[in-house]
Amino acid sequence: MKKFSYRNIDQGAIMKLYKILKNAFLISLACLVLSACATSKKTGQMQGDVYTGKETVEYLASGVPDRVFFATNESVLTTASRETLRKQAAWLRKNSKITVVLEGHADERGTREYNLALGERRANAAKDYLMTYGISSDRISVLSYGKERPVDSGSNPLAWSKNRRSVTVKAN
Amino acid sequence: MKKSIILFFLILSPIKALALIEVDITRGNLDPLPIAVSPLSIDETSKKGFEKILNKKNIGSEISKVVENNLKTSGLFNPLNKDAFLQAPDIANLKPRFEDWSLIKAQALITGKVNLVDEKLRVEFRLWDVLAGREMMALAFTTVPSNWRRVGHIITDKVYERLTGEKGYFDTRIIYVAEEGPKTRRVKKLAIMDQDGANNKFLTLGNELVLTPRFNPTSQMVTYLSYFRNLPRVYLLDIETGMQEVVGDFPGMTFAPRFSPDGKKIIMSFAKDGNSDIYTMDLENRIVEKITNHPSIDTSPSYSPDGKYICFNSDRSGYQQIYIMKSDGTKVKRISFGKGLYGTPVWSPRGDLIAFTKLHKGKFYIGVMRTDGSGERLLTENFYQEAPSWSPNGRVLIFYRETETNDKGEGFSAKLWSIDLTGYNERLVSTPTDASDPSWSSLLSN
What is the SS3 assignment for chain B? CHHHHHHHHHHHHHHHHHCCCCCCCCCCCCCCEEEEECCCEECHHHHHHHHHHHCCCCHHHHHHHHHHHHHHHCCCEEECCHHHCCCCHHHHHHCCCHHHHHHCCCCEEEEEEEEEECCEEEEEEEEEECCCCEEEEEEEEEECHHHHHHHHHHHHHHHHHHHHCCCCCCCCEEEEEEEECCHHHCEEEEEEEECCCCCCEECCCCCCCEEEEEECCCCCEEEEEECHHHCCEEEEEECCCCCEEECCCCCCCEEEEEECCCCCEEEEEEEECCEEEEEEEECCCCCEEECCCCCCCEEEEEECCCCCEEEEEECCCCCCEEEEEECCCCCCEECCCCCCEEEEEEECCCCCEEEEEEEECCEEEEEEEECCCCCCEEEEEECEEEEEEECCCCCEEEEEEECCCCCCCCCCCEEEEEEECCCCCCEEECCCCEEEEEEECCCCCC
Q: Quick one: pLDDT at residue B20?
A: 57
Under an 8 A CB cutoff, do A113 and B299 touch? Answer: yes
Asked if residue B143 is part of any domain, the answer here is: yes
Residue-averaged pLDDT of chain B:
93
Q: Quick one: pLDDT at residue B301?
A: 98
Asked if residue B49 is part of any domain, the answer here is: yes
Under an 8 A CB cutoff, do B387 and A73 touch? Answer: no
Domain count for chain B, please give it.
2
Under an 8 A CB cutoff, do A124 and B404 touch? Answer: no
* Pick from B274, B357, B402: CB nearest A125: B274
Nearest CA distance, A126 vs chain B (angstrom) = 10
- The answer to whether residues B314 and B215 belong to one domain is yes
- The answer to whether residues B160 and B306 belong to one domain is no
Q: Quick one: pLDDT at residue A13?
A: 45
d(CA B254, CA B250) in angstroms, rounded, equals 7
- The answer to whether residues B410 and B330 belong to one domain is yes
The band of A16, judged by pLDDT with boundaries at 50, 70 and 90, is: very low
**A window 80-109, beta carbon within 8 A of B:** 108-109
Asked if residue B446 is part of any domain, the answer here is: no
Tens of pLDDT, residue by residue over B31-59, are: 899 999 999 999 999 999 999 999 999 99
Q: Which residue of B has its CA nearest to A154?
A: B409
Q: Quick one: pLDDT at residue A9?
A: 40
Tens of pLDDT, residue by residue over A34-62, are: 444 444 445 579 999 999 999 999 999 99
Q: Would an 8 Å CB–CB cutoff place B361 in contact with chain A?
A: no
The band of A22, judged by pLDDT with boundaries at 50, 70 and 90, is: very low
What are the sequence ranges of the domains in chain A? 5-40, 46-170
Asked if residue B291 is part of any domain, the answer here is: yes
Q: Quick one: pLDDT at residue B29?
A: 62
Pick the more confident residue, A161 or A1. Answer: A161
* Nearby residues of B256 by Cβ (< 8 Å), 6 or more positions away: A113, A116, B212, B225, B268, B269, B299, B300, B301
d(CA B295, CA A2) in angstroms, rounded, equals 49
Under an 8 A CB cutoff, do B297 and A121 touch? Answer: yes
- The answer to whether residues B335 and B384 belong to one domain is yes
d(CA B391, CA B337) in angstroms, rounded, equals 26
- The answer to whether residues B124 and B220 belong to one domain is no
- The answer to whether residues B363 and B244 belong to one domain is yes
Under an 8 A CB cutoff, do B299 and A128 touch? Answer: no
Q: Quick one: pLDDT at residue B30?
A: 72
d(CA B123, CA B432) in angstroms, rounded, equals 31
Half-sphere exposure of B121 (CA within 13 A, CB side): 22
pTM confidence score: 0.89
- The answer to whether residues B337 and B372 belong to one domain is yes
Asked if residue B445 is part of any domain, the answer here is: no
Q: Quick one: pLDDT at residue A92?
A: 98
Under an 8 A CB cutoff, do A120 and B211 touch? Answer: no
Closest C-alpha to A92, from A77, A84, A142, A143? A84
Q: Considering only CB atoms, which chain A residues are within 8 Å of B186?
A: 148
Q: Considering only CB atoms, which chain B residues are within 8 Å of A156?
A: 407
Closest C-alpha to B125, from B171, B166, B156? B156
- The answer to whether residues B275 and B344 belong to one domain is yes
For chains A and B, count residue pairs whose Cβ atoms are closer than 8 Å: 103
Q: Would an 8 Å CB–CB cutoff place A151 in contact with chain B?
A: yes
Residue A30 has pLDDT above 70, yes or no: no
Q: Would an 8 Å CB–CB cutoff place A166 in contact with chain B?
A: no
- The answer to whether residues B107 and B226 belong to one domain is no
Nearest CA distance, B326 vs chain A (angstrom) = 21
Helix, strand or coil, per DSSP, at residue A106: coil
Nearest CA distance, A113 vs chain B (angstrom) = 6
Asked if residue B147 is part of any domain, the answer here is: yes
d(CA B427, CA B429) in angstroms, rounded, equals 6
Domain with residue B140: its CATH number is: 3.40.50.10070
Domain that holds residue B16: 2-164
Q: Which residue of A has its CA nearest to B231?
A: A143
The values of phi and psi at residue A34, to 5°, are: -60, -45
Residue A111 has pLDDT above 80, yes or no: yes
Q: Considering only CB atoms, which chain A residues are within 8 Å of B299?
A: 113-114, 116-117
- The answer to whether residues B46 and B89 belong to one domain is yes
Q: Quick one: pLDDT at residue A128?
A: 98
How many CB atoms within 10 Å of residue B145? Answer: 17
- The answer to whether residues B149 and B216 belong to one domain is no
Q: Would an 8 Å CB–CB cutoff place A159 in contact with chain B?
A: yes
Nearest CA distance, B25 vs chain A (angstrom) = 30
Domain with residue B421: its CATH number is: 2.120.10.30
Instruction: Mark which of B105, B138, B164 sits at the end of a domain.
Output: B164
Taking each helix axis as running N to C, give the angle between helix B59-73 and helix B44-54, from 0 to 180 degrees, rounded to the nearest 10. 70
Under an 8 A CB cutoff, do A110 and B273 touch? Answer: no
d(CA A110, CA B300) in angstroms, rounded, equals 13
Q: Would an 8 Å CB–CB cutoff place A74 in contact with chain B?
A: no
Instruction: Mark which of B146, B164, B182 sits at the end of a domain.
Output: B164
Q: Give me the tens of pLDDT residue by residue for chain B, a chain 446 residues long.
A: 333 333 333 333 333 334 456 777 666 667 899 999 999 999 999 999 999 999 999 999 999 999 999 999 999 999 999 999 999 999 999 999 999 999 999 999 999 999 999 999 999 999 999 999 999 999 998 999 999 999 999 999 999 999 999 999 999 999 999 999 999 999 999 999 999 999 999 999 999 999 999 999 999 999 999 999 999 999 999 999 999 999 999 999 999 999 999 999 999 999 999 999 999 999 999 999 999 999 999 999 999 999 999 999 999 999 999 999 999 999 999 999 999 999 999 999 999 999 999 999 999 999 999 999 999 999 999 999 999 999 999 999 999 999 999 988 899 999 999 999 999 999 999 999 999 999 999 999 86
Closest C-alpha to B397, from B382, B385, B406, B414? B385
Q: Would an 8 Å CB–CB cutoff place A163 in contact with chain B?
A: no
* Pick from B211, B274, B409: CB nearest A121: B274
Tens of pLDDT, residue by residue over B91-149, are: 999 999 999 999 999 999 999 999 999 999 999 999 999 999 999 999 998 999 999 99
Q: Would an 8 Å CB–CB cutoff place B104 in contact with chain A?
A: no
Under an 8 A CB cutoff, do A113 and B405 touch? Answer: no
d(CA A156, CA B359) in angstroms, rounded, equals 16
Q: Are B350 and B343 in contact (CB under 8 A)?
A: no
| Architecture of domain A46-170 in this structure | 2-Layer Sandwich (3.30)
Give the single-character DSSP code of A95. S
Tens of pLDDT, residue by residue over A77-91, are: 999 999 999 999 999
Under an 8 A CB cutoff, do B299 and A154 touch? Answer: no
Under an 8 A CB cutoff, do A113 and B185 touch? Answer: no
Under an 8 A CB cutoff, do B274 and A111 touch? Answer: no
- The answer to whether residues B83 and B149 belong to one domain is yes
Q: Which helix (H) or strand (E) holds A94?
A: helix A79-94
Q: Considering only CB atoms, which chain A residues are within 8 Å of B405?
A: 153-155
Closest C-alpha to B164, from B396, B428, B430, B389? B396
